[in-house]
Amino acid sequence: MSHLCKAAATAGCTRGALAPTAAAAFLRHASSRSRSTRNITTRAAAPGANGSSSSSSSSYDYDAVIIGAGSAGVRAARTAAEKGARVAVVELPMAFLSSADKGGVGGTCVLRGCVPKKLLLFATEFKSEIESAKGFGWTGASAGELDWGGFMAAKREELSRINKGYKEGLDSAGVELLEGRGVVKGPHEVEVDGRSITTRNIVIATGGQPSHIPIPGAEHAIISDQVLELEALPKVVTLIGGGYIGMEFAGMFARLGCEVHVVARQSLPLAPRFDKEVCEFFMEQCTASAGIHMHMNCNPTDIIREADGSLTVKLAPAEKKDSSSSSSSGGGEIRGNAQVVLAVGRAAKTKGLGLEEIGVEMGPKGSVKVDAHSRTNVPSIWAVGDVTSRIALTPVAKMEGQAVGLSIATGQEVTPSYEAVPSACFSWPYVATVGLTEEEAAKKGLTFEVYSHTFSPLRAHLAARAAPDKPLQRCFVKMLTEPGAGKLLGLHMVGEEAPEIIQGFALALKLGSTKQQLDSLVGIHPTSAEEVLGLKGPVRMYKEGKQQQQDSKQEGMNNSTKAQAAGQRQAGIKAEGGKAEASRAA
């Protein structure tokens, strides 16, 4: 089937759902596809004021021009084009390190985020896997040395392959790729490296970039892009920031045997994004099991390049927001770093885009302000993905892109749903979450129950035989429900396979399932996922956001559950280490 016929067949399947303007757009699109190339015309000014109704879309070069071919932009472009709209996407030339004039199709996720990060994670995990194998009888198992350069070369090859696949995907959907830097010149005009094009709609999908902190010596620190392009593995590394990026890289470096420090101004890593009790459990695990040095309640004040080339990070106590935490606090310094990594959040990439100049309302930290349909205050301009600073995750960027692509192609506004968005931090151990945290549920004044359970995965005991000095691996699961083991409100997990498990259970939460329904499920044994079913408790109850006093019988039961959890946790570590010792002796 020819390219044109394929496009017609696709549109034919969905034509019933197309608004008249989109159907007309399809026909124009189909005829334009019969030409081998489209010319970019130069126009002095944009016709029409704004919005789709003010002017016939045939007077524009395109129905939609999308600036940015990352997760959000590619999805918006393909969705609109597959529904028959004439679409162009503007993207900077490709480079593994992004800059003001370098980017690449696929964007952060493919080239500098999720994908290379996960490839590095896979590479690092082999070491601990092979070490654990000794506990299962692989006496000669040895990971050897990671050929860092070899890994980097393989990673680049894989990213180039995915980048090519993304380009082919755009092409087969009928999207025109315009390489260059896009600047908005008017409600219907975009300039690409000095060439002007007109369009009925503009979609801003320019993503984000790492934030910086104004401390002396900050120029010695690197950002996540550079970590993923390092020439050598750093023996000692400090991560500034205890969020997703800081904790993910900390885990990966620790897996490779580096000395790892994390500096964070809050009391707990991943807080307040994740449930507090989950963060406490995670903190214990990443210090005890992963051996990461956590410098909590600290601010970096200075990064000094020493005569031997190493970096010293000076610390000062941060103002403690959460006095209930027992985590370490204070000043001091971390010496001997080969690298210091800034992971203090990301900000929208909107500088020089021309948005303020044409009256687009902006939000905090340069983000683009949008309504529930991702439309800005200028009706012909939309924004999706990280640039809007809503939820900075790839699947969310794709969801927003798809909704806008459909809105543009069909003329009917589509609203993305932010209900039950799951997320995971690929740290050591993994942490995954969906729904409300205990703190959020209490703050909302909800009446709810809390269930929790700590366990040791089946493989942990034998794996521990290979590393008798290390604590036994522990996992934690926590569930919030409406009273009477009712509707699920939140589910959180730390440990093995947590992201895969939470992804599955997110559907239950989204569909409004109850704990009773989950408990009626037959588990798959032996798995870590079955630990989510049949949780005993509740360990705590809240009425209208206030934690309830428990009757003595219930309290006794809950205390023993809690004590068991805390005991198992704290030093799943010592007590469980003892158990492992016993089984080893046996």
Ligand X SMILES: Cc1cc2nc3c(=O)[nH]c(=O)nc-3n(C[C@H](O)[C@H](O)[C@H](O)COP(=O)(O)OP(=O)(O)OC[C@H]3O[C@@H](n4cnc5c(N)ncnc54)[C@H](O)[C@@H]3O)c2cc1C
Ligand Y SMILES: NC(=O)c1ccc[n+]([C@@H]2O[C@H](COP(=O)([O-])OP(=O)(O)OC[C@H]3O[C@@H](n4cnc5c(N)ncnc54)[C@H](O)[C@@H]3O)[C@@H](O)[C@H]2O)c1
Q: Which residues bind ligand X (CB under 6 A)?
A: 67-73, 90-92, 98, 103-104, 107-109, 113-114, 117, 181-182, 205-208, 224, 245, 349, 353, 385-387, 392-395, 397
Which of ligand X, ligand Y, none does 264 bind, CB closer than 5 to 8 A by kind? ligand Y
Which of ligand X, ligand Y, none does 314 bind, CB closer than 5 to 8 A by kind? none
70 is in an annotated binding site: no
Nearer residue to ligand X within complex by CB, 247 or 315? 247
CA 202/CA 191 separation, integer angstroms: 11
Exposure of 4 by Cβ count < 10 A (0-12 exposed, 13-18 middle, 19+ buried)? Answer: middle
CA 432/CA 498 separation, integer angstroms: 6
Contact, 29 vs 15, CB < 8 A? no
Which of ligand Y, ligand X, none does 241 bind, CB closer than 5 to 8 A by kind? ligand Y
Q: How far is the CB of 188 from ligand X (least distance, A)?
A: 17
Nearer residue to ligand Y within complex by CB, 70 or 246? 246
CA 407, distance to chain mean position in Å, is 25
Q: How far is the CB of 416 from ligand Y (least distance, A)?
A: 16
What are the start-end ranges of the H helices in 16-113? 20-33, 71-82, 107
Q: How far is the CB of 299 from ligand Y (least distance, A)?
A: 6
Contact, 240 vs 313, CB < 8 A? yes
Which of ligand X, ligand Y, none does 395 bind, CB closer than 5 to 8 A by kind? ligand X
Token pair in block for residue 440 = 């959020």
Contact, 196 vs 42, CB < 8 A? yes
182 is in an annotated binding site: yes
Distances (CA, A) of 119 to 158, 344, 426: 9, 22, 11
Contact, 63 vs 57, CB < 8 A? yes
Q: How far is the CB of 223 from ligand Y (least distance, A)?
A: 9
Query: Which amino acid is present at 232?
Result: A
Nearer residue to ligand X within complex by CB, 29 or 181? 181
Contact, 354 vs 172, CB < 8 A? no
356 is in an annotated binding site: no
Q: How far is the CB of 386 from ligand X (least distance, A)?
A: 4
Nearer residue to ligand Y within complex by CB, 221 or 355? 221
Q: Residue of minimal CB distance from ligand Y?
A: 243
List interacting residues with ligand Y (CB under 6 A): 213, 240-246, 248, 264-266, 299, 343-346, 392-393, 423-426
Which of ligand Y, ligand X, none does 280 bind, CB closer than 5 to 8 A by kind? none
Which of ligand Y, ligand X, none does 202 bind, CB closer than 5 to 8 A by kind? none
Distances (CA, A) of 516 to 81, 519, 526, 533: 44, 5, 21, 9
3-class SS of residue 97? coil
207 is in an annotated binding site: no
**Is 525 known to be catalytic?**
yes
Contact, 562 vs 539, CB < 8 A? yes
> Considering 3, 29, 293, 525, which one is annotated as catalytic?
525
Give the number of C-alpha atoms closer than 13 A to the C-alpha of residue 292, restricted to the C-beta side.
32
Nearer residue to ligand Y within complex by CB, 116 or 405? 116
Nearer residue to ligand X within complex by CB, 211 or 514? 211
CA 299/CA 152 separation, integer angstroms: 32
363 is in an annotated binding site: no
Contact, 454 vs 512, CB < 8 A? no
241 is in an annotated binding site: yes
CA 282/CA 276 separation, integer angstroms: 10
166 is in an annotated binding site: no
CA 340/CA 259 separation, integer angstroms: 12
Q: How far is the CB of 452 from ligand Y (least distance, A)?
A: 23
345 is in an annotated binding site: yes
Please list the active-site residues.
525
Residue list for the binding site:
118, 182, 241-248, 345, 386
Query: Which residues line the annotated binding site for NAD(+)?
Result: 241-248, 345
